[in-house]
Structure 1
Amino acid sequence: MSRPTSNGALGVWVTLSLGAPFLLISIAARALPTDVLTWTRFALAVLTLLVMAAARRGVAEAFGAPARLLRSRPLDVLLVGVCSAALPSALITVGEHHVQTGLTSVLLATTPMWVAMGAPLLFPAERLGLPRTACMVAALCGTALMTTGIGGTPLWATLPLAASFSYAAGVLLVRRRLRDVDPLTLTSAQMTVAVVISTPFAVTHLSAARWEPGSWAAVAALGVLCSGLGWLANTTLVQRVSAVQASLVSFAAPVVSLLLGTIVLDERLSPSQVAAAGVVVAALVAFGVLSRPVRRANSHREVAAILELAVLGFLAEDPMHAYELRKRITKLVGHVRPVSDGSLYPALQRLRRQGLLSREQAPGEGGPARQVFALTDAGRAELERRLTHPDDLDITDRNKYFVVLAFLHLLPPSTQADVLRRRLTFLEDPQRGFFLNDDRAAREADLTSPFRAGIQHIARATSAAERAWLTQTLQTLHPN
């Protein structure tokens, strides 16, 4: 998305796009066979996303960006397309004929549980802790209470449960392998995969589709609003926040489903369902409150994040004791903030608690034994993840980017090129705030202040030098 959207707004939109499909699928399925419904849904989603991309970047880039992504990361995109779109949609649509909507919604609401189980294996820093885990369990229990008295065949109920597993796998895969990809490009590519996969099945049942305006209106809303815009918001959210936090909106989806059923289908809510919906909302609010200190800390932890990356990077080169580690880090990031024992040791302890570092005693040189720190296998994996898939701020913030650059030699050349290319793309963006690289900006700065004109001059010269180095280095890594 070209304009940043708040995570809260994205979460609300994703919640609505996850809750509405239960109603829309049940309406659309009256006239469309499962395969035709699935294909139409994703075809409309692709069309919606391509129109958005064409409006922002031009027609050539709208089609070219997903094509390049499919060529460069075919397996990753294929798996995400299957896990996040094609497979769960087919499972849910088939299940709608045999499992009541309430039971389907509660089974799909287990997605955050599977994400929470898998996330620590891939991202040690994203463990929830006991309080937030308790909130998640409370939300799941509230979801189950909302469906009290709703039944379904146990065998068919495995379909929405399998869909929840598939969604969880898709969330973790995006977070692990595709976090650095533009969300509009990624969503377009994965929806294209879903269309291609579902086409042969849809063709065989196309003749069974009937014309009912209500059903086709439902599938249109399903494709444009839920699969298109909804999954774009979901992909953006997964890339921005932790995997578990991004998947928590699954708990609120049944609340939306019940409300829509009441408003549209005139279904009545029992007092117990209303109370259970309140439990879900309260649990999610509590989870957000418990997460708030982490989010606040993030605004004050930029220097700490730089320090942690430097620790992981230097220990990847050699195990060392804290004194030597502090000397090396000071040479690298001392210009940002002095590296004191008061900042280094807490960082070492945080990384040890996350299982990223080990500590052993080694004989001192004529003195007491020293504590030598080294990377664990999980630490090497975490360092590789941070370097391979740096956040946007790691690319745009000069201090954080320089730390990434300092350890980029630990990655293979193709991955090095990917990171450098992201930095070059950022530098070539003509809309980079105050430092606009154009003559008009320079003239306006001259009229306002000679010192501001000096800032413009320095910024342009620095940017030009870095772009030249990046271009030359990329040619070396990937010679024509």
Structure 2
Amino acid sequence: MSQRRATAPLGLWVTLTLGVPFLLISIAARVLPADVLTVVRFGLAGLTLLTVLTVRDGLPRAITAIGGLLRDRPVEVLLVGLCSAALPSVLITWGEHHVPTGTVSLLLASTPIWIAVGGHVLLPAERLRARQAACLLVALGGTALLTAGGRTGASTPWPALPLAAAVSYAAGSLIVRGRLRQADALTLTCAQMAVATLVSAPFAATHLAHVRWQAGPWAAAAVLGVVCSGLGWLANTVLTQRVTAVQASLVSFTAPVISVLLGTTVLGERLSPPQFAAAATVLAAIMAFSVPSGRAGRPNPRREVRAILELAILGFLSEHALHAYELRRRIGALMGHVRPVSDGSLYPALHRLRRQELVTRRPEPGAGGPRRQVFELTDVGRAELLRRLERPGELEISDRNKYFVLLAFLHLLPSADAQARVLRQRLEFLRDPRRGFFVDDDRALRQDELRSPFQAGLQHIARVTSSAERAWLTGMLDAMETERPATS
């Protein structure tokens, strides 16, 4: 629930910054050719993000961080810059000259569909349920009704341009989600804008003679670059890293709603009752997709136990390939005092993880006996493990036993900042005065208010344990902060 609250403002901001460009591009394209507008747009976005990165880390560290990301992930960063920025921008700008804005927004709204298709193969852990797929289709239908009021007489080949842009956006989102999930969002987006600018610059140079000066179009290009492509793209990258790729792309459906509303308020276009109903349909379908329904939204102890067992399996297999007996022994040593691990719980968990393509198995000759099945972590499984470690749920932080399993594998996170964020979450929970009975503050029950010596003993043990853990967390975070300059 807290993660949903945290991502809601991001989703709203991304929705706005995806809806506004339809209007801004149409204004800026009056005096700026498509490739020149692309360079101006992403050049301003890159300068904006570099400024923010410099304020946060200082210019030397900012340059080092961008260079390190390009050195470590050159192919992925290049592809994201092309697929998420340079290529779709040119395609959309060209398409706006020949295709009605409503049709363009409809075709771009198909982005989540393409992500769902690609994610079904590339991100098996994020495959959609039947209900979610139905919601996507309803939202797409609502978008079609919403944009039906626009002109439809475009030449046949031109709608392929925004459709190709939608596929390109989908490819970029899948790369971020599958390969760059752990990268710093600000550094990644800044590098992405730099790539888009450099790739587009040679093409823009051939059309500089056609550029004209008009205050309105250039102001639209400036807002498009700084706000939409800079700050908006940063928020979109953060959103894609936090939630599934399809969830992050749901803003593609709400962008036409914003576009139509802007046309109504800014350009004086009329919003017909069917379009109003279609907008409501789109928003309702997105809410139905995002909000858990019925039993899925309620606490399920059995599901929680499964999740923590799966985390332990992924954690141990990330360190070594193991056969089932050794895996069960290690898990039992870690969490057996809480819930003994039997074959009846281990093998179904392994089967679920194999079905999601997070874990694979291979036969191995036994030591003088029958062949054994050895389980290994796949690349998809490793990415899923890092996601679970970096973004734990509320129970993984508040429940001591679940948190200890999380803590056992926290060293697998490659980013010290990500490790520190998890520790801070636990420390904030321990310091929360609303925890009540076990909190060492003015509200805690006094010794003479307790009804038995056993309650007093429970109070004492809880306070000592909590105090010791808070001291360790504080010391660990201080040490990590001290070591940070030396390791960055």
What range describes the TM-score normalised by the shorter chain of this pair?
0.7 to 0.9
The residue that corresponds to 1:385 in the other structure is: 383
Please, which runs of 5 or more residues in structure 2 have no aligned partner?
Answer: 364-369, 398-402, 432-439, 441-462
Cα offset, 1:133, TM superposition: 0.6
Equivalent residues of 1:427, 1:467 under 8 A apart:
no
User: CA separation of 1:401/1:291 partners in 2, compared to 1, >3 Å: closer, same or farther?
Assistant: farther
The residue that corresponds to 2:321 in the other structure is: 317
Question: Using the alignment, how far apart are the partners of 1:16 and 1:240 within structure 2?
Answer: 19
The residue that corresponds to 1:119 in the other structure is: 119
The residue that corresponds to 2:447 in the other structure is: none
Cα offset, 1:169, TM superposition: 0.3
Question: Using the alignment, how far apart are the partners of 2:207 and 2:187 within structure 1?
Answer: 30
The residue that corresponds to 1:400 in the other structure is: 406
The residue that corresponds to 2:238 in the other structure is: 236
Select which of 184, 198, 201 maps to 2:200.
Answer: 198
Equivalent residues of 1:114, 1:165 under 8 A apart:
yes
The residue that corresponds to 1:99 in the other structure is: 99
AA at the equivalent of 1:419:
P
Select which of 248, 273, 276 maps to 2:275.
Answer: 273
Select which of 295, 307, 329 maps to 1:327.
Answer: 329
The residue that corresponds to 2:162 in the other structure is: 160
Moved more, 262-271 or 100-109: 262-271
User: CA separation of 1:87/1:453 partners in 2, compared to 1, >3 Å: closer, same or farther?
Assistant: same
Q: State the Cα deviation string for residues 334-355 of structure 1 (Å, max 9, x = none).
A: 3665546775466345335435
The residue that corresponds to 1:212 in the other structure is: 214
What SS does the aligned partner of 1:154 have?
coil
1:221-232 matched pairs, under 5 angstroms: 221-232=223-234
Question: Using the alignment, how far apart are the partners of 2:206 and 2:189 within structure 1?
Answer: 27
Equivalent residues of 1:24, 1:219 under 8 A apart:
yes
AA at the equivalent of 2:230:
G
Question: Using the alignment, how far apart are the partners of 1:293 and 1:257 within structure 2?
Answer: 36
User: CA separation of 1:283/1:192 partners in 2, compared to 1, >3 Å: closer, same or farther?
Assistant: same
Equivalent residues of 1:393, 1:400 under 8 A apart:
no
1:51-450 matched pairs, under 5 angstroms: 51-148=51-148, 150-290=152-292, 304-312=306-314, 317-320=321-324, 325-334=327-336, 338-339=340-341, 344=346, 347-348=349-350, 350-356=352-358, 375=375, 380-386=378-384, 391-393=389-391, 399-403=405-409, 405=411, 419=414
User: CA separation of 1:152/1:64 partners in 2, compared to 1, >3 Å: closer, same or farther?
Assistant: same
Cα offset, 1:269, TM superposition: 2.0
User: CA separation of 1:61/1:31 partners in 2, compared to 1, >3 Å: closer, same or farther?
Assistant: same
Equivalent residues of 2:324, 2:375 under 8 A apart:
no
What SS does the aligned partner of 1:269 have?
coil
Question: Using the alignment, how far apart are the partners of 1:10 and 1:156 within structure 2?
Answer: 32
AA at the equivalent of 1:403:
F
Question: Using the alignment, how far apart are the partners of 2:422 and 2:230 within structure 1?
Answer: 30
Identity of aligned residues (%): 53
What SS does the aligned partner of 2:268 have?
coil
Moved more, 270-279 or 184-193: 270-279
AA at the equivalent of 1:317:
A
Question: Using the alignment, how far apart are the partners of 1:65 and 1:140 within structure 2?
Answer: 39
AA at the equivalent of 1:15:
T
User: CA separation of 1:300/1:209 partners in 2, compared to 1, >3 Å: closer, same or farther?
Assistant: farther
Question: Using the alignment, how far apart are the partners of 1:39 and 1:297 within structure 2?
Answer: 49
AA at the equivalent of 1:194:
A
Equivalent residues of 2:43, 2:225 under 8 A apart:
yes
Cα offset, 1:153, TM superposition: 1.7
Moved more, 155-164 or 306-315: 306-315
User: CA separation of 1:294/1:206 partners in 2, compared to 1, >3 Å: closer, same or farther?
Assistant: farther
Question: TM (normalized to structure 1)?
Answer: 0.78
The residue that corresponds to 1:15 in the other structure is: 15
User: CA separation of 1:433/1:129 partners in 2, compared to 1, >3 Å: closer, same or farther?
Assistant: closer
Cα offset, 1:59, TM superposition: 2.6
Equivalent residues of 2:98, 2:158 under 8 A apart:
yes
* Count of equivalent residues: 441
Equivalent residues of 1:309, 1:383 under 8 A apart:
no
Question: Using the alignment, how far apart are the partners of 2:299 and 2:373 within structure 1?
Answer: 26
User: CA separation of 1:36/1:297 partners in 2, compared to 1, >3 Å: closer, same or farther?
Assistant: farther
Please, which runs of 5 or more residues in structure 1 have no aligned partner?
Answer: 362-369, 409-417, 437-444, 476-480
Equivalent residues of 1:336, 1:399 under 8 A apart:
no
Equivalent residues of 1:358, 1:373 under 8 A apart:
no
Q: State the Cα deviation string for residues 59-91 of structure 1 (Å, max 9, x = none).
A: 322333212211221111111111110111011
Cα root mean square deviation, aligned = 4.2
User: CA separation of 1:51/1:331 partners in 2, compared to 1, >3 Å: closer, same or farther?
Assistant: same
Equivalent residues of 2:427, 2:470 under 8 A apart:
no
Question: Using the alignment, how far apart are the partners of 1:127 and 1:428 within structure 2?
Answer: 30
The residue that corresponds to 1:441 in the other structure is: none
Equivalent residues of 1:357, 1:374 under 8 A apart:
no
Question: Using the alignment, how far apart are the partners of 1:174 and 1:398 within structure 2?
Answer: 30
User: CA separation of 1:263/1:320 partners in 2, compared to 1, >3 Å: closer, same or farther?
Assistant: same
